[in-house]
Amino acid sequence: MAASPDTLARVEELTARRLNRTLLARQHLLARSTQTAHDLIHHLVAVQAQESNAPYISLWTRLEAFEKDDLTALLADRRAVRSSILRGTQHIATDDDYPWLRPTVQPVLDRGRQGAFGRVTAGVDPVELAALARKHLTGQTLTRPALARLLAERWPDVEPLALGWSAQCLLPVVHPPPSGTWGRFGATPFVLAEEWLGRPMAAPDAERLVVRYLAAFGPGSARDVQAWSGLTRLREVLERLPLRRYRTPAGVVLYDLPDAPLADEDAPAPVRLVPEFDNLLLAHADRTRVIADAHRRVVITGAVVRPTFLVDGFVRGMWSMTGAGIVLAPFEAITEAARDALTREAAELLRFAGTEGSVSFTAPGH
């Protein structure tokens, strides 16, 4: 039920700048965290991993002491897993979170599979497909193409690609290393999540999902948490939880944990380099708390979300890494102090990546 105008008038209004600083604080982008990579992944719920190098840079830009081997070791030790999770896209979650997180977002994967492959697989019983895929995967690892070929023996008239992707949506499967680790590409391997983690999947828990979202991305509206997770009908979940309420200048109701602090809107925000697909830019329906609409239309085109950099807490340009180094492309003119800080930060990223090269800038707006 929507709040009445009288109720909203009594609720504290949060400015865009205070929402910005609070988001950055909860994302550990105002000050790098001293916690472990495992703990930070847990805090963030799941880290975007559509591109192999992106989760490494997401952690590097948020942690005081992080090296590539830290995440690779977590994946090898099965303390973190890579799988289709939030919005049906590739993320890395901890071993403790995946068993409840994947079942919670399963409706998103079901909806995505139906939208992408429902017509092609119209004659295929999804329950039978999932059961047969589980049988083929039991006790072994198969790439998506290999699993698709086996499934095509049962449904020879169906496009194998649709069968392989359907299995990925219907079953809790994870992609074991070295797939998805720094600099590694190629066919995606599947292994049953229960076998890899040595534990069963848990019951869906939408309330837990909402609470964890607010801790890492709040305050947020019902539309915000739905944009981040891909789930629908979460307002009723928010309404039954004992949450604090705020509002935006436009009157949108924002929910937050009762004891979660708000950052000072004048808190200094250092420059940060954010990788492609980072949830910083994807966790809200209204993204103006971190990126202007005009800039969002340049950064996010279709399914692509480009790497960006922050100046004074907001996205002010994009960056790219090549064999020659890092190129920073500001949308508008930035101060000399910001250029110097970005140069130092980009040089540190080159060191982290183990890449030779220099840092350069394009002209503003190019």
Q: Which residue has the higher pLDDT, 366 or 148?
A: 148
Which helix H or strand E contains 174, and what residues bound it?
Answer: strand 173-174
Q: Which pLDDT value is given to residue 122?
A: 95
**pLDDT tens per residue across span 270-302:** 999 999 999 999 999 999 999 999 999 999 999
Here the tokens at position 316 are 């002010």
Q: Which pLDDT value is given to residue 3?
A: 53
Task: Judge whether 310 and 253 are in contact, CB under 8 Å.
Answer: no
Average pLDDT over every residue of 83-110: 98
Q: Which pLDDT value is given to residue 9?
A: 53
Average pLDDT over every residue of 141-150: 97
Q: What is the mean pLDDT of the chain?
A: 95
Contacts 24+ apart (CB under 8 A), 185-192: 185/52, 187/143, 187/144, 187/145, 188/143, 188/144, 189/141, 189/142, 189/143, 189/144, 190/137, 190/141, 190/142, 190/143, 190/144, 190/147, 191/137, 191/140, 191/141, 192/134, 192/137, 192/138
Q: Which pLDDT value is given to residue 1?
A: 43
pTM of the model: 0.94
Task: Judge whether 332 and 365 are in contact, CB under 8 Å.
Answer: yes
Strand pairing report for 80-84 and 272-274 = unpaired
Does the pLDDT value for residue 340 go beyond 50?
A: yes
Q: Which pLDDT value is given to residue 29?
A: 98
Contacts of 138 (CB under 8 A, 6+ apart): 192, 195
Q: How many CB atoms lie within 10 A of CB 230?
A: 17
Q: How many CB atoms lie within 10 A of CB 266?
A: 9
Euclidean distance between CA atoms 29 and 25, whole angstroms: 6
Does the pLDDT value for residue 10 go beyond 90?
A: no
Can you give the residue ranges of every domain in the chain?
Answer: 1-266, 291-361
Does the pLDDT value for residue 67 go beyond 60?
A: yes
Does the pLDDT value for residue 6 go beyond 50?
A: no
